[in-house]
Structure 1
């Protein structure tokens, strides 16, 4: 049995414009001065879940979760146009730059 960290709430959420019809939902949790880690959720249309915040020690990590294009709270939901692996990588880079992060950990499942 794996034990997760206690439930936490985001301290900041926003939508990041992508330069296309997509707006990507982003949330920040944990220690704003901590080690940055970005979480990649699995599966199309699934999006992030509150338990995904619990994989990381909130005292140590600056936890960044986002709903990939067409998923979760990102809009438009279920849209496949302009939704490729290259777009996903570009969105992650946009998030990194927007937050002023030089290096981060990437975690996915």
Structure 2
């Protein structure tokens, strides 16, 4: 699980209305992020839509994402706020595919 100091509170973040946000699309998820100058720490949030299976499957995907991000949190730029949004994927979601896609998109952030 991602340590609490790195968690973005989705309900309070209002990520849909962020000014200066950028988006990266992959076959598995969408990443919305922004650089917040007033913040020195990285905050990451996860959203898995209800269109994906039952709650156990959604929670498993959320745990996988959290684990991958926890292992690579130091690669995110300081002051970044990001939200991973998983909607209906174009292919089956596995842990290995999540690791691959996170590794591919991290260099594209700032």
Q: TM-score, normalised by structure 2?
A: 0.43
Report which of the two has the higher share of strand: 1
Output the TM-score relative to the length of structure 1: 0.44
Q: Specify which structure has the higher proportion of helix.
A: 2
Higher RCO, 1 or 2 (CA under 8 Å, sep at least 6)? 2
